[in-house]
Chain A
Amino acid sequence: MSNIENLKSFDPFADTGDDETELTNYIHIRIQQRNGRKTLTTVQGLPDEYDLKKILKVIKKDFACNGNIVKDEELGEVIQLQGDQRLKVMEFMVEALGVKKKNIKIHGF
């Protein structure tokens, strides 16, 4: 029976490859309003293999803004940037850091 090629071609219960249960640690980019027209951009959930200090240095120069790294008890280290840098940060992450776009979530309005 096992010689019949047709019968063993497809296993409907096999993994399809695109398994959504795989835990994707999203990078969250948020915006927060400050006093007046000023805003704050926070980047949360960058993987540990990146050196946040170096990233921050480059970002600060590229985006012409100030920023710092905040240590949060639950969420680890978070980059804070002055102003609305959400789209720029996302582009930077995709191009310079090689983060997949689907792993980045932009929040805020």
Chain B
Amino acid sequence: MSAEELGFDPSIKKKKKSKDVAPVSADSETTTVASTEDDDLFSGLKKKKKKSKDKKDTSEEPSADVTDDLSESFEGMKLKKKKKKKVVAADIDEFEKQLQDAGIDESIVNETSKKSDLIPYSQLLDRFYGILKEKNPELAGGQQQKLKIPPPEVLRDGNKKTIFANVQQISQVLQRNPSHLIQYLFAELGTSGSIDGEQRLIIKGRFQSKNIEGVLRRYIQEYVICRTCKSMNTELKREAANRLHFIVCKACGSTKSVTSIRTGFTANVGAMKKKRV
């Protein structure tokens, strides 16, 4: 995963997937229309059957079963769209048989069932995906809701200090402890700093917004993104027993250990150097 796909606001790069999605959604109007037709057809069918049943009271047990089955499948349809296609396709044949058994006039029924057969597969598929996307966006093609990370607000405080205004907000979006993020920032930038009264981070040294952004990207890649599923919905947990940090993914449930933040070598510069010597 390249750094550009990390989901920062300024570089609004759409994922490839979103392109694929577009044509389908454009078709959604037609599909919804088709779907309503579809439902109407079936509901009509059901009513007709009941009427016919009323007419002929002669041992209609099979047909009654069928209606029950169908109505059940219709109710289930609204919840589980996936099943619906299979169930209907399979049921229509059975249904017709049982209708014949019941001795119901087939001419009307046949008409409707033929119509329903005529709905092209692609349309049904479109409809299925449309509904699935509406109700269960997570299942539809794995299109994840992209985490929007606000761009870092970086101000200059005088000549030698930099204010990073929205650390708290960013760490909240990333579901990380702000102190962890700050620790990483300081280690990477090789400086120190403090937090002021308004929960802003004051960094010693001059840094620009893009500099901080680059470091943030690396932080996200190292400590936020799940290595297994690339999800950003993760948690950083510290195991008390072995003092290791683990990324726990909330999407796929995987855990992976991450290295602790190390400051590394920092040279003493300027006044400090003179003091030491």
Contact = CB atoms under 8 A, between A and B. Distances in A.
Contacts of A40: 267, 269
A75 B264 contact: yes
Name the interface size band of chain A.
Answer: 10 to 19
Contacts of B211: 109
Interface string B204-242: 011110011011000000000000000000000000000
Contacts of B191: 32-33
Interface of B: 187-191, 205-208, 211-212, 214-215, 264-267, 269-270
Interface SS, B side: loop
A47 B269 CA distance: 26
B190 A108 contact: yes
A28 to B, nearest CB: 5
Contact of A109 (B189, B264, B267, B270): B189
Contacts of A108: 188-190, 215
Interface of A: 28, 30-35, 40, 42, 44, 70, 72, 75, 78, 80, 107-109
Contacts, number: 53
Contact of B265 (A33, A34, A35, A75): A75
Smallest CB-CB A-B distances: 5 pairs:
A109-B211, A33-B205, A32-B190, A44-B265, A78-B265
Contacts of B270: 34-35
A103 B189 CA distance: 20
Contact of B269 (A28, A34, A75, A78): A34
5 contacts: A28-B264, A32-B266, A32-B267, A33-B191, A109-B214
Given A33-B191, A35-B270, A109 B215 contact: yes
A42 B265 contact: yes
Given A109-B189, A109-B212, A109-B215, A30 B265 contact: yes
A32 B266 CA distance: 8
Nearest to A42: B265
A40 B189 CA distance: 12
A40 to B, nearest CB: 6
A44 B264 contact: yes
B207 A109 contact: yes
Contacts of A107: 187-188, 190, 264
A78 B207 CA distance: 25
B228 to A, nearest CB: 14
Given A75-B264, A109-B207, A109-B215, A32 B188 contact: no
A32 B208 CA distance: 15
Nearest to B207: A109
Contacts of A31: 190
Contacts of A34: 269-270
A52 B176 CA distance: 40
B264 A30 contact: yes
Contacts of B266: 30, 32, 42
Given A42-B265, A107-B264, 15 more contacts: A28-B264, A30-B190, A32-B191, A32-B266, A32-B267, A33-B205, A35-B270, A42-B266, A44-B264, A72-B265, A80-B267, A107-B187, A107-B190, A108-B188, A109-B214
